[in-house]
Structure 1
Amino acid sequence: MPRQRWNAADVPDQRGRVAVITGGNTGIGFETARVLAARGASVVLAVRDLDKGKRAAAEITTATPGADVTVQRLDLASLASVRAAADELGATRDHIDLLINNAGIMYAPQGTTVDGFEFQFGTNHLGHFALTGLLLDKMLHVPGSRVVTVSSAGHRQGGPIDFDDLNWKTRKYSRVAAYGNSKLANLMFTYELQRKLSGNGETIAVAAHPGGSDTGGSRTSVSLQPLYFRALFALVRPLLIQPAEMGALPPLRAATDPAVQGGQYYGPAGFQESKGHPKIVKSSAQSYDMAAQRRLWTISEELTAVTFPV
């Protein structure tokens, strides 16, 4: 019977395993990298800012002498950068056990990626879609390999995704709805990827969300709210926000628990999935819409020019 209070001590030995973590220099990604490195994994911090990545790697190796942590330049808002990172990882790694699609931007003002996509959708979904497709051949025949994509409870603030206006050209822009769409897309991508992976190798696709975690993104989201909301939130904050190391437990469990199955979604067990130890949770009804999942997949292939080897 699985433990009800799964924690970092339950992460199995990761020696011999390679884990690529996007956004591994801060917040949830950093805490995930720290634990995996301490368990013996060869960890790659795939980050936009190399200096910050190197500082994060140094912090991890100071805490765990002998830890194998490297830094890879990756800007998810640029498909050229995604391809360059995938090429470098493919040339230097003969296999990848864990790809943890963690990096993301939250409630960003309206803007576009280098390739002209709405900034949050392009970064949070399309960048990870392309990276996964380009690295998947390094994973398919690796026993126990997993693609873990970090979504958010905020996916419920998005949808239905307007596939005819992904770049918000004909609608008034909402940074909250755009963020919600990108995190909804993360889940739809995971569920469709798992269907495609079934019978195609060893790899499974799993999703997770960190709940209300004390990270830069969550602090930014609160700062954008009206003064009365911020005052109220300060009162209830202890009930809804947990440290980043607790927020990292759902993706860690999704990545390492031997009992995990493809297509599952992990989040905190507490009130409103805001905090607590990780368990299997349910996403919104629209995230399970298979027709929408398939349409999102087709459009994502067209926009990124990346096709998957499954």
Structure 2
Amino acid sequence: MALQGGPLAGAVIGGLIACILFIALLLFLFRMWMQGPKCTSKVSLEGKIVVITGANTGIGKICALDMAKRGGKIIMLCRSTERGEAAAEEIRKETEAEVIFHKCDLASLASVRECAEQLNNSLPKIDILLNNAGVMMCPLTRTEDGFEMQIGTNHFGHFLLTNLLMPLLKKAAPDARIVNVSSLAHERGRMNFDDINYEKRPYGPAEAYGQSKLANVLFTRELARKGEGSGVNAYALHPGVIATELGRHLNANPVLKCMSMMFMPLVKTPEAGAQTSLYCCLEQSISDENGKYYSDCRRKEPAVQAQNDEDAKKLWQISEKLTGLAQN
């Protein structure tokens, strides 16, 4: 006999509830899958010194906390003194590790030089340099030195800092590491060496971001070539799409903000997003690899334009000139 009235309504409601629960379970499992693999290294950092840019928030802070728990001495480089000191104190209380804050504004070559001088005068070595800080999709603005903000902060600032700290990194050989946080956006990037700072061509935030992230991978490639045999290895990585402050400029565009809110439940948490950075900093199985690119805690091939050795050399030469490194 067919269901009628109350029993039929109950069956329909029960079916809808079961369907909703099933969809919720699928979304939960998909979200878990989207978080990606974890860095499983158990390596201790006792006696090691780790320098991290942009360590007061997001994946930089997660990495600082993780490596402090491993016994490392953590040097946090941040633009904001107030936020940097607060984050350092928070990590000290949780880990009882030695955590030191230094002000470093990557959008100011003078600030980078001042910070590097302080570190060279106070540290005996640097075992790991994690170039994590960055800006993303910001409107056209310029650094203190006149660089387009994204290439200036994401590349030129880190380029100068890394080179000025190289003597300390070499003192930590043969297993010193430079880890550059890039992005999948490098695949859409193109280096425009004739107008790298958008002084002639129309500005596009996404295009400029892609160029800066491509520069991170090319910089890593040339670091590896120049440092071959030095005991200082360089790694680049894509951390994943992450729910951090990095995407704050997207909120200025109503359409992008709406899309961001729709996909937010599916992106990585900062903890998940930090895993490939930690992998590149800690994983012993990649100790002999140099100049490679990683995503989801494993090696990946970067875009074709990121494997261009001539472009890597040219970017280095331009960066030397624009940052004044060639005059050191």
Query: How does the TM-score come out when normalised to structure 1?
Result: 0.89
2:154 is the alignment partner of 1:154: no
Aligned amino acid, residue 88 of structure 1: Q
Aligned amino acid, residue 288 of structure 1: Q
Contact 2:39 2:276 in 1 (8 A): no
Aligned amino acid, residue 265 of structure 1: Y
Q: Secondary structure at the match of 1:259?
A: helix
- d(CA) in 1 for partners of 2:85 and 2:219? 30
Q: Offset of 1:234 from its aligned partner? A: 4.0
**Distance change >3 Å, CA 238–CA 282, structure 1 → 2:** farther
- 1:273 match: none
Q: Offset of 1:226 from its aligned partner? A: 4.7
Q: Offset of 1:233 from its aligned partner? A: 4.9
Q: Offset of 1:265 from its aligned partner? A: 1.4
**1:12-61 per-position Cα deviation (integer Å, ceiling 9, x unaligned):** 10010000000000001000101000000000000111110111011112
Q: Offset of 1:248 from its aligned partner? A: 0.6
Which stretches in structure 1 are left out of the alignment for 5+ residues? 269-277
2:246 is the alignment partner of 1:217: yes
Q: What is the root-mean-square deviation of aligned Cα atoms in Å?
A: 1.8
- d(CA) in 2 for partners of 1:232 and 1:169? 31
- 1:274 match: none
- 2:53 match: 22
Aligned amino acid, residue 148 of structure 1: V
- 2:100 match: 70
- d(CA) in 1 for partners of 2:147 and 2:258? 35
- 1:297 match: 316
Q: Secondary structure at the match of 1:147?
A: strand
2:57 is the alignment partner of 1:57: no
Aligned amino acid, residue 286 of structure 1: Q
Which stretches in structure 2 are left out of the alignment for 5+ residues? 1-35
2:223 is the alignment partner of 1:204: no
Contact 2:52 2:132 in 1 (8 A): yes
* Higher relative helix content: 2
Alignment of 1:183-194 (within 5 A): 183-194=213-224
Contact 1:212 1:218 in 2 (8 A): no
Alignment of 1:260-275 (within 5 A): 260=286, 261-268=289-296
Indicate which of 161, 173, 186 corresponds to 1:131: 161
- 2:270 match: 244
Q: Offset of 1:167 from its aligned partner? A: 1.6
- 1:257 match: 283
Contact 1:136 1:308 in 2 (8 A): no
Contact 2:105 2:111 in 1 (8 A): yes
**1:76-107 per-position Cα deviation (integer Å, ceiling 9, x unaligned):** 01111111000000000010001111001111
- d(CA) in 1 for partners of 2:85 and 2:298? 32
- d(CA) in 2 for partners of 1:23 and 1:168? 25
Rg comparison, structure with higher value: 2
Aligned amino acid, residue 114 of structure 2: A
2:99 is the alignment partner of 1:85: no
Q: Offset of 1:263 from its aligned partner? A: 1.4
- 2:199 match: 169
Q: Offset of 1:220 from its aligned partner? A: 3.6
Indicate which of 276, 285, 310 corresponds to 2:304: 285
- d(CA) in 2 for partners of 1:263 and 1:205? 5
Q: Offset of 1:210 from its aligned partner? A: 1.1
- d(CA) in 2 for partners of 1:302 and 1:36? 35
Q: Offset of 1:237 from its aligned partner? A: 3.6
**Distance change >3 Å, CA 76–CA 11, structure 1 → 2:** farther
**1:224-280 per-position Cα deviation (integer Å, ceiling 9, x unaligned):** 4553x55455444433x0110111111111011011111121212xxxxxxxxx221
How many residues align structurally?
A: 290
Instruction: Work out the percentage of aligned pairs sharing the same amino acid.
Output: 39
Query: How does the TM-score come out when normalised to structure 2?
Result: 0.84
- d(CA) in 1 for partners of 2:55 and 2:260? 28
Q: Secondary structure at the match of 1:117?
A: coil
- d(CA) in 2 for partners of 1:282 and 1:224? 33
- d(CA) in 2 for partners of 1:155 and 1:279? 17
Q: Offset of 1:282 from its aligned partner? A: 2.0
- d(CA) in 2 for partners of 1:191 and 1:138? 20
Contact 1:18 1:97 in 2 (8 A): yes
Indicate which of 122, 126, 131 corresponds to 1:96: 126
- d(CA) in 2 for partners of 1:46 and 1:232? 32
Q: Secondary structure at the match of 2:198?
A: coil
**1:104-144 per-position Cα deviation (integer Å, ceiling 9, x unaligned):** 11111111111111111111100000000000011114231
